[in-house]
Amino acid sequence: MTGDIDQYRIDSEPFYQPVGDEIALYQAAYSERLPMMIKGPTGSGKSRFIEHMAWRLKRPLITVACNEDMTASDLVGRYLLDADGTRWLDGPLTVAARFGAICYLDEIVEARQDTTVVIHPLTDHRRTLPIDKKGELIAAHEDFQLVISYNPGYQSLIKDLKQSTKQRFTSLLFDYADAGMEAGIVATETGCDVELAKKLVKVAGTARNLKGHGLDEGISTRLLVYAARLIDQNIDPIAACRMAMVEPITDDGDIRDTLHHAIDAVFG
Amino acid sequence: MATPDLTGYRDKLKCSFPELDNVFTDCMENAVARLSQRGRDDYLAGASLICGIGRGFEPVLVYLEDMPEVAEKLGEGMLSLVSETVWTLSRTPNGNAIPAFLDTIAEAARRLGSQELLCRYVDMMLDMMDRTTGSIHGFHTTLSSPGLPVLLNQMPYLLSQLSLDGVNHWIDYGIDAYPDHPQRQQDYFSLQTADSRAILQRQRHGTLFIDRERSLNLYLTAMWSDKCRFIPYSLGFDDVRKPLPYFDDFGVRVPDVYDDRAGIAGLNRYRALIAHMAAHRRWTTAIFADNYSPAQRLAIEIIEDCRVEFLAMGDYPGLGHLWRALHPKPIEGDCDADSQSCIRHRLAMLSCAILDQDHPYLDPDICQFAERFYAMMEHQTTSEDAASLAVSYIAKTRIQSDQSADVFFTHTEIDYRDDNRHLWKFIELGDEEESFDEADSPPEENEDETPRLPPRHYPEWDYGIKAYRPDWVSLYENLHPAGDGGKIDALLDNNKVLAKRLKQILDRLKPQYYVRQRYQEEGSELDLDIAIRSLIDYRSGVTPDPRINMSHRHDGRDIAVSLLLDLSQSLGQKPDGCDHTLLEISQEAVALLAWAIDRLGDSLAIAGFSSNTRHEVRFQHIMGYGEKWDEPVKARLAAIEPGYSTRMGAALRHAGHSLAARPTDKKLLLVLTDGEPSDIDVADNRLLIEDARKAVQELDRDGIYTYCINLDAHADDYVANIFGGRFTVIDRVERLPEKLAKLFMSLTK
């Protein structure tokens, strides 16, 4: 995992449409190297925002998609065997701490709580990472910052962060942009015309109203982008919406019917 | 056409009623025009047969008048079919039903439209007659069918509402439900009883509201961010004054069933209606009605309807297709303004013109006001703006005949719009304020001391008609009264040895939440011990073991258990060779099981059930999922008493209802019973067995695993029928405590 840190650098500007003053807030947090927690529903631009900020701050970005089977050694590093015996391999967190990257743990709650405890020493005044297997204590590079993202919407009781973890972060709350701005985002992202984007946003709005009535999440901005791309491939808008925006989010016949009808009503 | 010679035909008709000569010529001319030579012979033979049954002239007349048309439409085979059926009827005690039967034939032929269906209709009637005609000595049928004449009177209505299959189900149900009760049977077949109407409703064609309620609720939430209660009303029973949809503070009234119309499916008709009302709820504000004349109010309602629809179509253009398809298309010039009131006609045309820009109307007023409407809608508008446009339209087009009592209604009823009662408010509320109802006495105190939950209604499966009897069983859930919890502790003490053995099993079952799996080729972590051993093997030239990683897996239990106790009267018995009653043994077993489950940490609910007819199924709460195995629960368990009967289906459905809502992975419903389902109001035991079997299938469908522990040594006959293979029959009842706990553990291992 060591190797070339430059591969994690972002060269061209990722498109990000600020909704409020989140860029300024993030910059302030970064200049103090405060750990950051980004909350919000899926597809609301969390990962895109971090990419954008990494580009803006000119720091490498190391992203880890967390999952339930992830162990502490997946973050910190592990011994591997080779011809001469065992060899140590740094995990992504260790690499970021050594070289001063932004380490982004995506969907942190998917990892088990005992795994996430390894980030604690990095996220308080110590800013160190002890590697007990190797007997090494790494002091984090001065540019290092830890960012986690987390979707409070669909998690169960079990999948929550420990208070001791939560209280190490500053936090920004993301939500879907308001209708006009979201249409603008979809239009810029895909190059489709604004009228079409507005209709897509309208359909998304109907699904977001159903959150909690059988839908765990509304239709995300990402799915709107997918739908617009399909339409760009000369797919009929109604078929594209069904494919990109209805079928992925529900298996419930009644909800599917309702959303199909909403699409028919919006596209006339 | 030359008048055919009818004298030959008169001779073939062997009937000597004097009234016959007055009508014969007309009827025969009709028959000659419609029937073949063979058909005419059958026609006359049939009429002769009916003449000979001795029921007077009326049946003959009906036959002569109606049959040529029926035979022409459905085939000449109908002629002999009908006459022979009448003959069959006359050979039974049901002769009084013959005129009614003949009266239904013409209508049935029109509705059913095919020979095959009419034959089935006749068979259905004869079958119904056979099954309801009673006999005193069991040999000759002597009592006429009480239901048949009333049924035949209802038949035109039934056929207008139901398909032939639907009618058949409805009749079957009535026969099964009231075989021995003439008065109730008559009430059923004359549509007087609630269950009769409910069954009819289930069999209706079209889109039933109750089947779509969730979908429509989602629709309202999704597209209109609105919430309200839907209250369906029936269109079936109010012929004189058709109720219209409307909404008020209590909810939205919608028809209970919609047939497809104008190429729009029933569900979309509901959506059109709800979208219209939701648009009103969003954009309409009430205006004072006192200053407007009735004609002005009518116009204001129409323009306001158009205004909210126009606004809604701005958001959802697709709604326009629905509304345009459902909107009536009045034809210009249909209404004669000299003799009739055309105001509704004019307004319907205006509404149509506003909704559909490609309207065919030439009337300058309509065109001009449609344009003015569009001009108005370019700005922000309110209900007041709609009112002023409507008032000026009325002022412009008013004519004397608008006051006429003969109002032209054709193509003016817009069935997806509500009655607009929400649009009006009144300065003078009328005389009702001085109402006498507001008496000085305070409302009556409810003296019922124990709080009770309202009953829940569950359907019951009727295997005979292969359908559910809707809302058939009333189930009352209440907290079981408490007794002396010490009794349960004493019982547990008696079983100390058994408890100790169970505890050992439990410890093995207890979840180890995080388990290490060694010897994995692919794993999450290097298992250093093994790795070093392999490395040593490798260095010393032996084939190393490649399984040097280890991983972890979760080992948790996530089970919710509902234990359902049959508390029927038979539980009070002492089985042969036992010192204790079944009840005491069950208490002991349940106590032990509850203790074991509590140790395991699974969530458990315990409830008892018994029934006293379908109107009173008691469901007694002993322990809830959230409760611990502690004193109050023990006290309730100690107080259980046997009584009444075993209506299992409803209890299963109710227990399943709360179990299904548990968020656990595995759901287990244990039923502890000592006999087959039965109740005092059911003569046919198979009915409740089949219902319980159906209930088990429903639970299966909801992901609930049902298991029965039966204390009746002869249970094999029915218990397999109900629970499939999932049951245990306990022969030696005294071993129940041990068996039950072990059974649970083996089920959940």
B470-521 tens-digit pLDDT: 888 899 988 888 888 888 888 888 877 777 877 777 676 666 566 777 888 8
Report the candidate in B622, B591, B603 with the shortest Cα–Cα distance to residue B486.
Answer: B591
Is B313:B279 a contact under the CB 8 Å cutoff? no
pLDDT digits (tens, 9 = 90+) for A188-226: 999 999 999 999 999 999 988 888 777 778 899 999 999
- At B608 the three-state DSSP class reads strand
Instruction: Give the distance, in angstroms, between the CA of residue B266 and the centroid of all CA atoms in the same chain.
Output: 16
Instruction: Give the residue from B180, B201, B222 where a domain finishes.
Output: B201
Q: How confident is the model at residue A53 (pLDDT cuts 50, 70, 90)?
A: very high
A74 touches chain B (CB under 8 A): yes
CA A214/CA B222 separation, integer angstroms: 11
A79 touches chain B (CB under 8 A): yes
Type of residue at B285:
T
CB–CB contact B319 A81 (8 Å): no
Same domain, B413 and B528: no
Same domain, B102 and B194: yes
- At B368 the three-state DSSP class reads helix
Q: Pairing relation of β-strands B549-554 and B514-520?
A: antiparallel
Q: Which residue of A has its CA nearest to B320?
A: A268
What the block records as the tokens of B67 is 């049959």
Is A40:A174 a contact under the CB 8 Å cutoff? yes
Same domain, B550 and B639: no
Same domain, B216 and B267: yes
What the block records as the tokens of B444 is 């009556």
Best probe of the B interface among A242, A254, A259, by most B CBs < 10 A, is A254
pLDDT digits (tens, 9 = 90+) for A5-34: 889 999 999 999 898 899 999 999 999 999
Same domain, B241 and B123: no
Same domain, B182 and B222: no
- Chain B residues in contact with A210 (beta carbon < 8 A): 218, 221-222
Contacts of A92 (CB under 8 A, 6+ apart): A1, A62, A64, A75, A103
Give the total number of structural domains in chain B: 4
- Chain A residues in contact with B527 (beta carbon < 8 A): none
CATH number at residue B690: 3.40.50.410
Q: How confident is the model at residue B445 (pLDDT cuts 50, 70, 90)?
A: very low
CA B594/CA B601 separation, integer angstroms: 10
CB–CB contact A214 B218 (8 Å): yes
B214 touches chain A (CB under 8 A): yes
Nearest to B215 among A78, A257, A264 (CB): A257
Beta-ladder partners of B671: B564, B708
Give the per-residue pLDDT at A51: 94
CA B555/CA B549 separation, integer angstroms: 19
Nearest to B524 among A69, A209, A268 (CB): A69
Same domain, B243 and B121: no
What distance in Å separates residue A134's CA from the closest CA in chain B? 13
What distance in Å separates residue A39's CA from the closest CA in chain B? 25
Same domain, B534 and B588: no
C-beta neighbour count of B539 within 10 angstroms: 10
Report the candidate in A10, A44, A42, A11 with the shortest Cα–Cα distance to residue A185.
Answer: A44
Has residue B469 been placed in a domain?
no
Same domain, B535 and B493: no
Has residue B238 been placed in a domain?
yes
Give the per-residue pLDDT at B519: 82
Has residue B435 been placed in a domain?
no
Q: Is the dihedral of CA B39, B43, B46, B52 positive or negative?
A: negative
B319 touches chain A (CB under 8 A): yes
Has residue B445 been placed in a domain?
no
Has residue B533 been placed in a domain?
yes
Report the candidate in B425, B417, B397 with the shortest Cα–Cα distance to residue B306.
Answer: B417
In this structure, chain B runs to a length of 749
Same domain, B546 and B640: no
Q: What is the percent of chain B where pLDDT is above 90?
A: 12
Same domain, B105 and B167: yes
Type of residue at A161:
L
Q: Which is higher by pLDDT, B86 or B7?
A: B86
Please state the rounded mean pLDDT for residues A68-75.
82
Q: Is pLDDT at B715 greater than 90 in this prediction?
A: no
CA B63/CA B99 separation, integer angstroms: 10
Same domain, B284 and B406: yes
CB–CB contact B535 A85 (8 Å): yes
643-672 in chain B: CB under 8 A from chain A: 663
Has residue B88 been placed in a domain?
yes
Is A173:A40 a contact under the CB 8 Å cutoff? yes
Report the candidate in B125, B200, B194, B192 with the shortest Cα–Cα distance to residue B170.
Answer: B200
Q: What is the largest CA-CA distance in chain B?
A: 126
- Tally C-beta pairs within 8 A across A and B: 73
- At A88 the three-state DSSP class reads strand
Contacts of B436 (CB under 8 A, 6+ apart): none
Give the per-residue pLDDT at A142: 92
Has residue B1 been placed in a domain?
no
Has residue B23 been placed in a domain?
yes
Angle (CA) B477-B480-B482 rounded to 5° is 165
Give the per-residue pLDDT at B2: 44
Q: How confident is the model at residue B1 (pLDDT cuts 50, 70, 90)?
A: very low
Domain that holds residue B105: 9-201
- Chain B residues in contact with A202 (beta carbon < 8 A): 315
CB–CB contact B221 A213 (8 Å): yes
Best probe of the A interface among B210, B217, B316, by most A CBs < 10 A, is B316
CB–CB contact B548 A81 (8 Å): yes
Contacts of B24 (CB under 8 A, 6+ apart): B6, B10, B13, B64
In this structure, chain A runs to a length of 268
B268 touches chain A (CB under 8 A): yes
CA B183/CA B177 separation, integer angstroms: 12
